[in-house]
Amino acid sequence: MSARRFHHPDTSGVFTFSAETESEIAWWETKYPAERRQSAVIPALWIAQKQNGGWLSEPALRAVADRLGMSYIRVYEVATFYTMFNLEPVGKFHLQVCGTTPCMLRGAEKLKSVCERKIGPKGKPSGGGTFSWVEVECLGACVNAPMVQINDYYYEDLSVETLEQIIEDLAAGLNPAPGPYVKRQASAPEGAATSLTDPSLYDGSRAAPLTSIPGAPTSDGGKGA
């Protein structure tokens, strides 16, 4: 894993949490003991990134450090370790193209070519700041490969044509639906089920009630049947 650094250092700017984001961070703090409130650093960084237009500036990191009573370097260590945190400006629509093995075998290289052609060089916002894209490692949707994450949503089972259309729709102010772009529900088989097609094999309603747990101790000191 390569080291990540700020590409656009901004030490003179000011970042202040809004009332809404301050409330969100306060909610996350309640999930941890008072003496462990620094454990909220990851959600706090995510909230700061959302407020800051999709990336973390140095002032944003310092605001998180001050808010949680942490040293700046500790917050910096977290932000530079996790690739979910962007250390340079991104477009309004930030595309993360999965390039790991399942997606690569299913056409990720073609999707990257679409991004290069429709958006521009990897890692640089388009001229108007509408789009940016990067290649990332596995996003956990291997069964729906190839896929792209756009901001907070997954677009799956993509082809050259469907990704081109999604980018064009976003540019036109439309909201293309996330999820699979083939005829399937979530990660179910395309078309219809291909296994366990006989309900009698897995319909739990037909099973006899379980009166005891096999092998478990019973009240009389014996073992269940």
CATH number at residue 158: 3.40.30.10
135 Cβ contact partners less than 8 Å away, ≥ 6 residues apart = 96, 97, 98, 99, 112, 122
The mean pLDDT value for 111-126 works out to 96
CB 63 within 8 A of CB 72: no
Rounded-to-integer distance, Cα 176 and Cα 160, Å: 15
- Residue 119 is given by DSSP the state T
* E strand spans, the chain: 93-98, 131-136, 148-150, 153-156, 179-180
The pTM is what?
Answer: 0.79
Tracing tokens 């976003």 back to the chain, one arrives at: 170
CATH number at residue 52: 1.10.10
Mean pLDDT of the residues in the chain: 89
Tell whether 163 and 132 lie within a shared domain: yes
Distance (Å, whole) CA 89 – CA 7:
9
Note the pLDDT tens digit of each residue in 145-158: 999 999 999 999 99
Residue that finishes a domain, picked among 36, 58, 81:
81
For 48-73, what is the mean pLDDT? Answer: 96
pLDDT of the residue at 196? 76
Read off the DSSP letter of residue 183.
S
Same domain assignment for residues 40 and 70: yes
